[in-house]
Structure 1
Amino acid sequence: MNIVVINAYVRENAGDAALLSVCLSQVREAFPDADVAVAGMEDAAVHPEFEGVRNIGSLRRYVADGTVSLPRRLMRKALVGMAGAVAVALPRPLRRTLLRALPAEARREAEAVSRADLVVSMGGGYVLARPGLDGYQNVFFVLLPALLAQKAGVPVVWAPQSFGPFPAAAQRRLVGHVMRRSAAVLAREDVSVGELLACGIPEEHIERAVDAGFAFAPGRAVAWRDRLGVGPGERLVGVTARRWLAPTAQDRYERELARTIDAVQATGARVVLIPQVSTDYLGDDDRVCERRIAAHCTSGPLMVDEVVDYRDLKGLYDECGLLIGTRFHSVIFSLTSEVPCVAIEYEHKTRGIMADLELSAWVLPIADVTHERLWALVEPLLEDPGPYRALLDKNLPGYVDRALSLPARLRECV
């Protein structure tokens, strides 16, 4: 049996790496003897495998490769996009001939999904569009491998993820076309269900599921308190931040976080700034903004300023007594260790998943972050985390069980 996991991202994004790790583990659990390949955004020449599974690169990586010049990227997008659009409209013999003419990396994914017995699009938050041409390109290239698989009669499963927004009717029509023909479409929060319904997908074809990050449980390998110089009795508070807003609003968000860090440290706790994402791809390196935040603080917080393996990073959240988390998978990593979290929301996955766990009261939109609003949520948790932990004890076990249920669903799809 041949299985291709598509739409993987990069391992320096700890949340997406965890989702891929869980996805591969669950695919192997469902089909122990299958030949599995990953098609994602990592260059196969640099990273030929992920956790022992071969990486074949992808159409999407090939057209977005930041190591080539902008004119070449535009040419790649035009040629591969046109070939892909034509291929899905051709009968099988002509489609195979056209796909064989693609550049090597794009051809590997196109042929792999067309010959597979199952295609699984890993969990995440990438099936969306922003206004403008980039939004159309993202939707098209994310969906293209699934379209090619479906044309070849291969079942496609969308592992638990967020969907939307889709600002244009043409985007919604394309998403609806692909999802209605998929073997399973799993949405990880109610907002995504609404987005899919707006794409014309029947309600009975949408399955409400749980983010795979809740099933991520690697063993501990790093003695983080020793590494950070924090004693066993000291309270450690984690903070994750990211670049997201326009420059003026981003600066305000970073300065308000710094004020809150100072207030936390004034209680005697130690704050550590944690880079959940540390890749230079698309300039998405949390260490850049976290250095600015540290510089705004009057009492310097601890910082993790190196690239840390996603499995080891999970162990750092385990050591925290509280997390102020912007990156939502830092929140998930912490919740699964029963660490109370204040979640700063930048996409609808945050409020949707926190609502599932009855934790909506501890969500603050990123555009609304002020020290006063943040401290109103943080201070009570520093004083008494008991009520929060009671909600975790009530809601988390069943939620984690649902995150573990994908293997059975995959077997049903083949």
Structure 2
Amino acid sequence: MTAPARPHVTIIGSALSGNKGAAAMLESAMQTLEEKVGDVDVTLLSMYPAEDAAQNHYPNLAIVPAAPRQLGVTINSLALLYRLLPPLRPVLRKRSASIRALASSQVLLDQGGITFTDGREKFLLYNVASILPALFVGTPVFKCAQAIGPFTGRINRIASKLFLPRAHTIITRGRITHEYAEGLGLRNIVAGADYAFSLEMDGTERDAVAPLVDLSFFDGLAEGEGVVGICPSVVMQKKVDAAGGDYAQIIADFIASLQARGRKVALIPHSVRTGTDKTHNNDLPLCRDIFSRLPSSDGVLFVERELTSQQLRWLIGQCELFVASRFHAMVSSLAMAVPTVVIGWSHKYREVLEMFGAEEWAFGSDQLSADYLAQRFSELEGRREEVKATLDAHLPEVKATSRAQADRIAAIVRG
């Protein structure tokens, strides 16, 4: 008698390498699927297959290449053939790892952090291409907690009204996204929280980080004089510089002002691609630039290497205060109840901070200057204990809301 096939889930939009926010979402899914479903096979349709494979320590996770052009042209074309020509399906499943994965999966998890939103039309084709193969093959699409909308732009609104209703479930990542989705008339939406809030550490992080980072930097500091963590973002740099600013210099000037006051600073890139100077999903070159502009390196710890999502979360948790431009660096600081000032560029930052009653600590790239950042940081510094207490109070509910989407995924997998 043939043993029943193990459940199978395919994931797109996240990664193990590069953007550690994407890694945190992927690893949260791996952890919660094992808990909720048991033994399960998982396939990642990967933008960086070689880099992801090198960092894959999960025996049940298969990495299948799905770079943007390959996804948009090859995988989508094969999925269309699968839909239109049923006699070809056995051949397509045999010849294409991506089609085989989708056809055998009970669900596709789309873990894109922000999709179908005005102002990001250049990513719209990828947003569609990520879910269209599953729709062609007949596999339910579950859009894990993410930001969508607004939908006022004509092209985005048309694409959103055409494709978003076809998803089985869309988890909205906050109040603003949920209101945008309701305004579009979507009925397949469920309010949730970012999947990365479900990420659990296993207690080995300190020992793993110790050979890579000088942890004595964090020792012996009095309360109120702890390390300030700073996580820049190349996405934010492009927006600020395009408007005539100099993001790297602003951050360098802010760090210098902290140095002048005797505060210790950890410069922590949260998105790193080892072995390349390309800046897509890679903040390390930006951090090197910022570090080089400092008047001295006194009191500054530059984490000049790639760490795992759990290691980064643990390290961020050692900071007393935090300044974030990367979205999932903010998620990690909130998950560790570290009071945080956030420099954001869309509603996705503010709506998550709202869940913690901390939305006042976010401001947009259009307001960014070294003086304004120093002012907001000083205000946070003065209210550190109050803000930390608020984060601690809200964290259990946010984590529970994040983990609830795993129950919904498990229900689909079980049929």
For the aligned pair, the TM-score class normalised by the smaller chain equals: 0.7 to 0.9
Q: What's the TM-score, normalizing by structure 1?
A: 0.83
Q: What's the TM-score, normalizing by structure 2?
A: 0.83
- Displacement of 1:275 after TM fit? 0.8
What is the RMSD of the two structures over their aligned residues, measured on CA atoms? 3.0
After superposition, give the CA deviation of every residue in 1:157-215 in whole Å (9 maximum; x if it has no partner).
2221122455654543443344323332111112322443454423xx21110111212
Whether 1:43 and 2:31 are equivalent positions in the alignment is: no
* Aligned amino acid, residue 64 of structure 2: G
Whether contact under 8 Å (1:191, 1:352) holds in the other structure is: yes
Whether 1:350 and 2:345 are equivalent positions in the alignment is: no
Corresponding residue of 1:227 = 214
Q: What is the CA–CA distance in structure 2 between the aligned matches of 1:92 and 1:50, rounded to whole Å?
A: 36
1:238 aligned residue (213, 222, 229): 229
Q: Residues 27 and 145 (structure 1 numbering): CA distance in 2 closer, same or farther, change over 3 Å?
A: farther
- Displacement of 1:79 after TM fit? 5.6
Corresponding residue of 1:145 = 133
- Displacement of 1:109 after TM fit? 1.5
Whether contact under 8 Å (1:128, 1:139) holds in the other structure is: no
Corresponding residue of 2:4 = none
Corresponding residue of 1:321 = 320
* Aligned amino acid, residue 298 of structure 1: P
Whether 1:273 and 2:270 are equivalent positions in the alignment is: no
* Aligned amino acid, residue 257 of structure 2: A
Q: Residues 139 and 159 (structure 1 numbering): CA distance in 2 closer, same or farther, change over 3 Å?
A: closer
Matches within 5 A, 1:198-209: 198-202=183-187, 205-209=188-192
Matches within 5 A, 1:8-407: 8-43=14-49, 47=53, 49-59=56-66, 61=67, 63=69, 77-78=72-73, 81-82=76-77, 84=79, 86-87=80-81, 90=84, 92-93=86-87, 96=89, 99=92, 107-122=96-111, 124-128=113-117, 130=119, 134-149=122-137, 152=138, 154-164=139-149, 168-202=153-187, 205-218=188-201, 219=203, 220-221=205-206, 222-223=209-210, 227-230=214-217, 232-234=219-221, 235-244=226-235, 245-246=238-239, 247=241, 249=243, 251-279=245-273, 280=276, 283-300=280-297, 301-407=300-406
* Aligned amino acid, residue 157 of structure 1: F
Q: What is the CA–CA distance in structure 2 between the aligned matches of 1:194 and 1:91, rounded to whole Å?
A: 40
5+ residue gaps in structure 1?
65-75
- Displacement of 1:346 after TM fit? 2.1
SS of structure 2 residue aligned to 1:161: strand
Whether contact under 8 Å (2:25, 2:195) holds in the other structure is: yes
Q: What is the CA–CA distance in structure 1 between the aligned matches of 2:291 and 2:244, rounded to whole Å?
A: 14
5+ residue gaps in structure 2?
1-6
Percent of aligned positions that are identical:
23
Q: What is the CA–CA distance in structure 1 between the aligned matches of 2:43 and 2:281, rounded to whole Å?
A: 26
Q: Residues 371 and 122 (structure 1 numbering): CA distance in 2 closer, same or farther, change over 3 Å?
A: same
Q: What is the CA–CA distance in structure 2 between the aligned matches of 1:144 and 1:286, rounded to whole Å?
A: 30
SS of structure 2 residue aligned to 1:284: coil
Q: How many residues are treated as equivalent by the alignment?
A: 390
Whether contact under 8 Å (1:109, 1:145) holds in the other structure is: no
Corresponding residue of 1:71 = none
Bigger mean CA deviation after superposition, 23-32 or 259-268:
259-268
Whether contact under 8 Å (1:56, 1:108) holds in the other structure is: no
Bigger mean CA deviation after superposition, 35-44 or 208-217:
35-44
Q: Residues 382 and 179 (structure 1 numbering): CA distance in 2 closer, same or farther, change over 3 Å?
A: same
After superposition, give the CA deviation of every residue in 1:196-241 in whole Å (9 maximum; x if it has no partner).
3454423xx2111011121222132324897154151232111011
Whether contact under 8 Å (1:173, 1:199) holds in the other structure is: no
Q: What is the CA–CA distance in structure 2 between the aligned matches of 1:250 and 1:288, rounded to whole Å?
A: 20
* Aligned amino acid, residue 175 of structure 1: S
Q: What is the CA–CA distance in structure 2 between the aligned matches of 1:226 and 1:136, rounded to whole Å?
A: 39
* Aligned amino acid, residue 53 of structure 1: N
SS of structure 1 residue aligned to 2:32: helix
Bigger mean CA deviation after superposition, 311-320 or 162-171:
162-171
SS of structure 1 residue aligned to 2:271: coil
* Aligned amino acid, residue 47 of structure 1: A
Q: What is the CA–CA distance in structure 1 between the aligned matches of 2:219 and 2:178, rounded to whole Å?
A: 44
- Displacement of 1:92 after TM fit? 3.6
Q: What is the CA–CA distance in structure 2 between the aligned matches of 1:392 and 1:314, rounded to whole Å?
A: 16
SS of structure 2 residue aligned to 1:180: helix
Whether contact under 8 Å (2:228, 2:264) holds in the other structure is: yes
- Displacement of 1:81 after TM fit? 4.9
Q: Which runs of 4+ in 1 moved over 6 A?
A: none
